[in-house]
Every structure is written in C-alpha cells, then in structure tokens.
Amino acid sequence: MHLYSLALISAALVGSISAQNVFYGSFIHSVNVTNLEHVTKGVIAVDRTGKIVQVETNTSETQARQIATKYRVSLTLLGNQKFLMPGLIDTHIHAPQYVFTGSGMDLQLLDWLNTYTFPREARFNDTSYARDAYNKVVDRLVRGGTTAASYYATIHLESSKILADIVEKKGQRALVGKVNMDRNSPDFYVESTAQSLKDTETFIQYVLSKNNSRVIPIVTPRFVPSCTTELMKGLGNLAAKYNVPIQSHLDENLDEIAWVKQLHPDQPDYTSVYDVNGLLTNRTIMAHVVHPTDAERQLLKQRGAGISHCPNSNFSLRSGIAKVRQMLAEGQKIGLGTDVAGGYGTSILNTIRTGYFAAIARSFDHPDDKYLKLAEIFYLATLGGADVLGMKNTLGNFVVGKQFDALIVDPLARGSPIDLFSHDDVKTIFEKFINNGDDRNIIQVFVDGKSIHRV
C-alpha cells in the first residue's frame, strides 16, 4: 500500500478520520482525457462528509477488511462482476422540456422552438404542473446515473424555485437557472427586462439561502436572440455580483447565427456578443458550439468558458456535427449534454454512444478529425463534465480529496440487456455497459457519499 494511505489509516486510529463507507472490488475512472484506469482489487474509503480519504489499486480482501476495521465500518464487497464508476454529468438539459421528449424530431431549431418548446414551457406558470414534471425528470436522471446536471428551468420564478427545491430534496448535485427572455418571444411566453432581472436576482438569493453546496444558481439567458442588450448586461452584472456561473447557447444552428449577426452587426461574431455583455467568463457554459469561427474558439479558450457537446440534439435538430477532436486538441473545457428535449432522452449513456458516431461521421469527410476513443468520450461524461461545471477539483474521478459521486453497476441485474461470458474481464464488462447497458444496470447512486437511489 502507498505511504499516503498508511498515514491516513494511522490518522483514523486516533479518531481524526471517520469513514462512512469502504468499498472493495473493481472500479473504473478517468485519469485524464486519454487514460482510463481499470482496477480489479481496489479500495475506496469515503468519510462522513462524502470525501474520498483513501484509494488503493492492488489490495487483497484481507487487507481491505483490515482497512474497514481501522475505520470502524463494515466492508462493502462489490463481487466479481459489479463495479464502481464516477457519476455521469449532464452539462446541458432543459428540465421543463422533459414533458415532450422524443417529439418534434422533424424540425430544425427555430421552428422547433416555436412549435414545441415555447408552448410547453409556458405551462410552467402552473406550479402544480411544474412540480409534477420536475419530480419526474429529476427522478429519471438520478435512475440513469446522472449525479450532477446543469438545468434550465423556465422564465417563471416560482416554478424555478420548485426545481431547486426538488433537486435539493432528492440529493442530486445541480446548477439550476431561471431562464431569461425579453424579446423575440411569443406574447404568451415573454417577460419585461426589469421583471426578468428582478426575478433572476430573487432566484439567485433564494438558492444561495439554502446554503447547500450541491445546489447552485446559474444565470441563464436563453440565447442572444431572446435577450436584449440591456438584459444581457444586467445578467452579466448579477453573475459578477453574486459570483455565480452562467449558461446559454452558442453557434448551434446556421440560421440562428445569421439572426444574431442581423441583431448585432456591431459585433464580429456570436461569441463576442456574450463577451461584450459580461457573460463570457471562466464560469460560463456554452451549449452546442457546432459552427464557431477560429476567432470564437480562441475567445472561448481565452475566457476559460466551458463547452457542452450535445450530439443527440445536434443530429435530431439537424444542426451539424461539432468539431470535438479539434476542441480537445486545443485544450477546451468540454463535457456532454443531453439537451433534452432537442436531445431525445435523458440518458448520458445514450449521449456517449451518439458522441461516438458523431465523431466517426465527421471523420469521413475530415480525416484529420479522428474518431473519439472510449477513454475520451467517457472523460467527457465524467471528468470533462466536472471541468465544465467548474468542479474538476472536487468531482469526476476517484482521487483522494474529491467528493464521492458514484454509481454501482451490475451487468447482471434483473432485466439487464447485457450478457457476460467466460472471457469477459473488467475492461470488456465496462465497455459492454457503456455501449449496451441502461438504468437497469445502475443499482445504486451516490452523491457526496450518500445513497440517493438504490434498486
């Protein structure tokens, strides 16, 4: 065992560390963007605050039991096929759009917004309707292994508070944003600039008053066409005043980009509109980024903004194929987003799979943009997503000092779509889960070391 681990055990003996869980068995996580670590005889010890206090990668069961005894807890044995992996991270999801997931896949972005999105989101002025929908979508994400998500709500203050309340109650980790729209929106779904800013500040204060590190407010201008310059500047000021993150959409669709150019001819590009209004920071998450110019990518990197790659939505709404290989090579912060309901479902596993094929499809016409390997796409779903959310130092893999957001996966769970054979090992079992598994295989979900879902 490592010297740092022995030191931690000694500390436990004198009562300075108190574990709540010690796991023994297989685990898989990202070390970096190109390196997956597969461990078969591992130990992960988690303290009562949910922090990982010890990790071993080559330990006998006897040694594992000794570690558990010294921490004064029972040992959790994962067994031969089960394994631990970090929780999945959804960097871009519209919670109210869950009510029409799988609908409208025959339209492009702007028509889709007017036909489906705005009428459905307008219903969330009814708090009873909102509570029912938000309970269902958060439950669905948790069952699917999404331990952290960046949510868009709607323009409605009270319903947005309800989403934050539900996330807190269910124990998920989340950024939650009240959406802002004061122009180019239907009469039945629009707000005044003054009311939008007032309600946003009230919402930020409401979420911060929870004093819950797992639930964070995020400033959420829908996109440039729906927000006046006055609103965008005001939102940038609020983000700075309260030191909270920002999320919006960028370069998703060619018609959208042309529209932004018409609205803001004084700016060189879409990204610069956000930048000049104080909305492009190292805590900003920009969804899609399918058609950025070289200058826009450089500006995103310079500001330290994160990118949410949403391959399901980019295909469904026929927006295009993002240059993920190029983004990784440039060192951009990038994670995965389901973009429900532009994306047809809530599963990050499905997003991983579509991400594979999006990269393959792009490589046909752009041979230099090589397809993504498993290590890379899994990184985007975990450690990369944590980076986009501004949480890379605390989430995304199993490292001492990070919080234990994790899944226990059983490839042979009841109803499992996976079959195993004598030749399968931890690597092939993990790959089968990523490519064939679903929520039936996720038998337990942890956030901050606490179980928030168990089959």
C-alpha distances (whole Å) from 125 to each of 129, 162, 189, 413 are 8, 11, 10, 40
Q: How far apart are CA 239 and CA 278, in angstroms?
A: 9
DSSP 77: E
Label residue 17 by pLDDT band (50, 70, 90): low
What is the bridge-based pairing of β-strands 83-86 and 173-177?
unpaired
Question: For residue 292, is pLDDT > 70?
Answer: yes
Question: What is residue 105's predicted lDDT score, i.e. its pLDDT?
Answer: 79
Q: Which residues, 6+ apart, have CB-to-CB distance to 243 below 8 Å?
A: none
Question: For residue 1, is pLDDT > 80?
Answer: no
Question: What is residue 5's predicted lDDT score, i.e. its pLDDT?
Answer: 46
Mean pLDDT in the chain? 95
Q: Taking the CA of residue 203 as centre, how many other CA atoms within 13 Å lie in the half-sphere pointing to its CB? A: 36
Helices (H) and strands (E) in the chain, counts: 17, 18
Q: Which of 37, 29, 96 is nearest to 381 (CA)?
A: 29
Question: What is residue 103's predicted lDDT score, i.e. its pLDDT?
Answer: 84
Q: Which amino acid is present at 405?
A: D
CA angle centred on 153, ends 408 and 196, rounded to 5° = 150
Question: For residue 31, is pLDDT > 50?
Answer: yes
Q: Output the DSSP codes for 382-437.
A: THHHHHHTT-TTTSSS--TTSB--EEEE-TT-TT-S----TT--HHHHHHHHHHH-
Question: For residue 2, is pLDDT > 70?
Answer: no
Helix (H) or strand (E) holding 140: helix 127-143
- Six-digit token string for 88: 């999945």
Residue-wise pLDDT for 204-250, tens only, equals 999 999 999 999 999 999 999 999 999 999 999 999 999 999 999 99
Question: What is residue 35's predicted lDDT score, i.e. its pLDDT?
Answer: 97
Q: How far apart are CA 277 and CA 265, in angstroms?
A: 15
Q: Which of 163, 166, 239 is nearest to 201 (CA)?
A: 239
Residue-wise pLDDT for 357-415, tens only, equals 999 999 999 888 888 999 999 999 999 999 999 999 999 999 999 999 999 999 999 99
Q: Which amino acid is present at 81?
A: Q
What is the bridge-based pairing of β-strands 406-409 and 83-86?
antiparallel
Q: How far apart are CA 171 and CA 148, in angstroms?
A: 10
Question: What is residue 176's predicted lDDT score, i.e. its pLDDT?
Answer: 99
Question: What is residue 4's predicted lDDT score, i.e. its pLDDT?
Answer: 39
Q: How far apart are CA 185 and CA 233, in angstroms?
A: 19
Residue 157: phi and psi, rounded to 5, are: -60, -50
Helix (H) or strand (E) holding 84: strand 83-86
Q: How many residues does the chain have?
A: 455
Q: How far apart are CA 173 and CA 163, in angstroms?
A: 12
- Helices 61-70 & 3-13, crossing angle to 10 degrees? 40
Question: Would you tell me how many other CB atoms lie within 10 Å of the CB of residue 195?
Answer: 12
**What burial class does residue 165 get, using C-beta atoms within 10 Å of its C-beta: 0-12 exposed, 13-18 middle, 19+ buried?**
middle
Please tell me whether residue 446 adopts helix, strand or coil conformation: strand
Q: Where are the beta strands (DSSP E) in 126-281?
A: 146-152, 173-177, 179-180, 215-217, 220-221, 246-250
Output the CA torsion sign for 46, 51, 53, 59: positive
Question: What is residue 18's predicted lDDT score, i.e. its pLDDT?
Answer: 66
Residue 317's Cα: distance from chain center in Å? 21
Tokens 């066409």 sit on residue: 225
Question: In DSSP terms, which residues pair with 306 in a beta bridge?
Answer: 285, 333
Residue 381: phi and psi, rounded to 5, are: -80, -10
Question: What is residue 12's predicted lDDT score, i.e. its pLDDT?
Answer: 40
Q: What is the dihedral of CA 60, 66, 71, 74, to 10 degrees?
A: 80
Query: Residue range 160-180: average pLDDT?
Result: 98
Peptide bond into 341 cis (omega under 30): yes
Q: Which of 221, 321, 316 is nearest to 273 (CA)?
A: 221
Q: Which residues, 6+ apart, have CB-to-CB distance to 420 below 8 Å?
A: 81, 411, 412, 429, 432
* 431 in Cβ contact with 420 (< 8 Å): no
Q: Which residue has the higher pLDDT, 12 or 263?
A: 263
- Helices 426-436 & 374-381, crossing angle to 10 degrees? 60
Label residue 348 by pLDDT band (50, 70, 90): very high
